[in-house]
Homo-oligomer: A and B are copies of this chain.
Amino acid sequence: MTLGERQGDEKNDSKYCGVETEFNDDMPQLLSLNIHGGFDFVVAPLMDPAYRPSLLVSSNGGSGVLPFAGSDLVLSPSQWSSHVVGKISSWLDLDSEDETLRRDSEITLKQEIAWASHLSLQACLLPAPKGVTCANYARCVNQILQNLSNMQLWLRIPLEKSDDDDGNRSPNSMGEEHRDSWEMWNSFRTLGEHHSQLSVALDVLSSLPSVNSLARWFGEPVRAAIINSNSFLTNARGYPCLSKRHQNLLTECFNHSIQIVISGQQMQNFPTGTSVSNSHNSNNQSEGVEGMQRHPLRSYLDYIAYLYQKMDPLPEQERFELGYRDYLQSPLQPLMDNLEAQTYETFEKDTTKYIQYQRAVAKALVDRVPDEKASTITTVLMVVGAGRGPLVRASLQAAEETGRKLKVYAVEKNPNAIVTLHSLLKIEGWEKLVTIVSSDMRCWDAPEKADILVSELLGSFGDNELSPECLDGAQRFLKEDGISIPSSYTSFFQPVTASKLYNDIKSHKDLVHFETAYVVKFHRVARLTSPQPVFTFNHPEDSTRKSNHRYTKLRFEIPTDTGSALVHGFAGYFDSVLYKDVHLGIEPSTATPNMFSWFPIFFPLRTPMCVQPGIPLEVHIWRCCGTSKVWYEWGVTSPSSSPIHNCNGRSYWVGL
């Protein structure tokens, strides 16, 4: 019946809450009890836990019907698929030293999943690996996944990591005592080549690892969080509740579409008669069907619903960007291609950005023309890449605001935008103030030199839309002491876990997609360290160095308490100094609020790299310039070397 509705996030799967049950011969009754008890789905065993293939073979000679719980007819197909997650027998141990147990486990696993698949279940919960090694388990699941149509397999992983992990241990964690369950998961999914139908169900225990250690899971394909009733506390009024840290974890789960499953027994008697949900100010009205007994885990469910409902509604910008979450877009090529009206329309709506530009121009005007000369000196300002005029407007407003006289040139290479610019001038009565120039700034023969050059040529990674090359071309008509707005910009890199993005890229089955940078609204992504600056460009560039070629080597240290983590690639950002203290950017720690023109960029790694505590991640990035294109190359050299990505710009480049 859902945990509730969250404004702005109606499609979030995490509003459905499940319950883990024991084996029950009578599935219709089991389902009815739990659905009427308030749960949306059950995670229920499909086969009698006493079943062992090896016993069966010796008793009736290997033929015989498997001891399934009833037939597929006991529920309708839609009941099976919308209300039942198959719980694979928990006695399975595919890496046991006992060969009979191992063979029994292997046969049973295949039988149960075949049965679940026959029922069109959406998912099955696989038991947690039992030992320090999981290779045979991973191999069997990998074999099964090759022929599995749509079903998801949720591998149960206890959320545990010892905190005394000091980062000095040997990297050979597999052969020794397993202290970080993430490593088991990483080995399992690596053996299975990151199959997209294999995901994680986290067993949330009563004590939680560090915040950093938890955070890496949000870049992994976690589909469910199983929380046992014994992880709950009891509040002053006798009702179940969770520690603050557990509450935060669950909120993060809700935000990442991770479904909650409640497991275990009712731990104590809660006050009866009073609705628990009321005690939490919940608007969840369902009290169970009349005459039916209250579900023993109902109080826990009500508390989870309460947590769900008390989340803040999604901010408007987040809501607007919901559809873009984790969706890979190729960056614009505004230099080679002309932007379309729709694109201009979208970007022009970003008020925050133009307010920043207006502030920067105003400051530059005041610096350039003292108050006493305001009425005599006319500043020549050129907007290079004027588009449909938003920077012209911002500049004129700055002039008006500061009382400075302005002569504006609006230089634009897109002839379609020029049409709109002419119309704008007429409508606004700017004909005397603004000269429209239909030309590429790199080859325009300007009639005079500018005091101020204003441009908005930045991409998500700063220089990636070739602002440096364009402004180098425009610098010819900037006065020696002229000002460029922006006056500099810097790109940033940050290692991330991004399992979803990796799988989307992998699905193309080619090299090109692994050597391309994508614009993407990160959501199911774990940011593993603080970002570090990559390349900086200054304008005007007064050095004699002509080249915009750049090379930087970065060294990231992942916090030790994170544990190991898988790096699927690097998030890229930029920050730009427009003028003096007026900046604009998307680097998370200094990001300009309420700005939506740029999503981050993502540079993938062809092979994700596992980084262990205490061992630095070293990455090299090149900006390479050819005669007709600019491109990046990138590669990792520690903890081990990757191939150099995008050699000679073979996969991804920006046309000049």
Residues of A within 8 A of B (CB): 102-103, 133, 135-136, 138-139, 142-143, 146-147, 170-172, 174-175, 186-187, 190-193, 547, 549, 551, 553, 555, 607, 610, 614-616, 618, 620, 622, 633, 635, 637-644, 647-648, 650
Instruction: Report B-chain residues with C-beta under 8 Å of the C-beta of A549.
Output: 103
Question: Are B142 and A193 interface neighbours, CB within 8 A?
Answer: no
Question: Are B175 and A643 interface neighbours, CB within 8 A?
Answer: no
Q: Within the complex, what minimum Cβ distance (angstroms) separates A645 from chain B?
A: 10
Q: Within the complex, what minimum Cβ distance (angstroms) separates A549 from chain B?
A: 8
Known A-B contacts: A139-B622, A170-B615, A192-B644. Give 10 more (CB < 8 A).
A139-B647, A170-B614, A171-B171, A171-B639, A174-B637, A175-B555, A175-B616, A191-B641, A193-B644, A607-B607
Instruction: Report B-chain residues with C-beta under 8 Å of the C-beta of A192.
Output: 643-644
Complex CA gap A637/B191 in Å reads 8
Question: Are B553 and A640 interface neighbours, CB within 8 A?
Answer: no
Closest to A58 in B: B544
Instruction: Report B-chain residues with C-beta under 8 Å of the C-beta of A191.
Output: 635, 637, 641-644
Question: Are A618 and B174 interface neighbours, CB within 8 A?
Answer: yes
Q: A190-B640, A190-B641, A644-B142 are in contact. Are A175 and B635 (CB under 8 A)?
A: no
Closest 7 CB pairs of A and B: A190-B641, A135-B620, A193-B643, A187-B641, A174-B638, A139-B644, A191-B644
Question: Are B172 and A633 interface neighbours, CB within 8 A?
Answer: no
Q: Within the complex, what minimum Cβ distance (angstroms) separates A221 from chain B?
A: 17
Instruction: Report B-chain residues with C-beta under 8 Å of the C-beta of A615.
Output: 170-172
Question: Are B643 and A187 interface neighbours, CB within 8 A?
Answer: no
Within the oligomer, what is the number of copies of this chain?
2
Give the interface centre of A102, A139, A146 by most chain B CB atoms within 10 Å: A139
Q: Within the complex, what minimum Cβ distance (angstroms) separates A110 from chain B?
A: 12
Complex CA gap A135/B396 in Å reads 49
Complex CA gap A132/B223 in Å reads 44
Q: Within the complex, what minimum Cβ distance (angstroms) separates A531 from chain B?
A: 20
Question: Are A648 and B174 interface neighbours, CB within 8 A?
Answer: no
Complex CA gap A610/B190 in Å reads 17
Give the interface centre of A171, A549, A610 by most chain B CB atoms within 10 Å: A171
Q: A191-B637, A637-B191, A643-B193 are in contact. Are A618 and B175 (CB under 8 A)?
A: yes
Q: Within the complex, what minimum Cβ distance (angstroms) separates A644 from chain B?
A: 5
Interchain CB contact (< 8 A) of A648 among B146, B633, B638, B639? B146
